[in-house]
Amino acid sequence: MAKTIDISSKLTNERPRLKLAEGIEFEIDNRKNTILILNQKIQETDLNDLREVDGILELLLGKEAVQKIGEMDISFADYQTIFIACIAGAMGEDFEVVEARFRRAREEI
């Protein structure tokens, strides 16, 4: 009989959440197909173009969430923090790791 490797307890299918303030939370889409699209978009995108960044956030959070974030009238620095947090959540990485990578990439430009 073939050996069965049971990984069912390791698979959660849970989505990370982005919390901006009390009562303002959004689910981050971390599904495989979304991440494939995300990787392609990041390679092709000028991350200095906010319309492009909005498109990436729409991919990860949805159009309604991006509209709500826009209505919050936040600073550009806070917008970058939200973007980094979304990437971290989607990729399953720590915020600080993604932030450091983002900062290094910005310095190389």
- Name the burial class of residue 12, with classes exposed (0-12), middle (13-18) and buried (19+) by CB atoms within 10 angstroms of its CB: exposed
Q: Token pair for residue 67? A: 């509209």
Report pLDDT for 109: 61
Per-residue pLDDT of the chain (109 residues; tens, 9 = 90+): 899 999 999 988 899 999 999 999 999 999 999 999 999 998 888 877 888 889 999 999 999 999 999 999 999 999 999 999 999 999 999 999 999 998 887 777 6
Q: What is the structure's pLDDT at 100?
A: 95
Residue 104's contacts (CB-CB under 8 Å, 6 or more residues apart) are none
The answer to whether the Cα torsion of 49, 66, 35, 19 is positive or negative is positive
pLDDT at 83: 95
How do strand 17-21 and strand 24-27 relate by DSSP bridges?
antiparallel
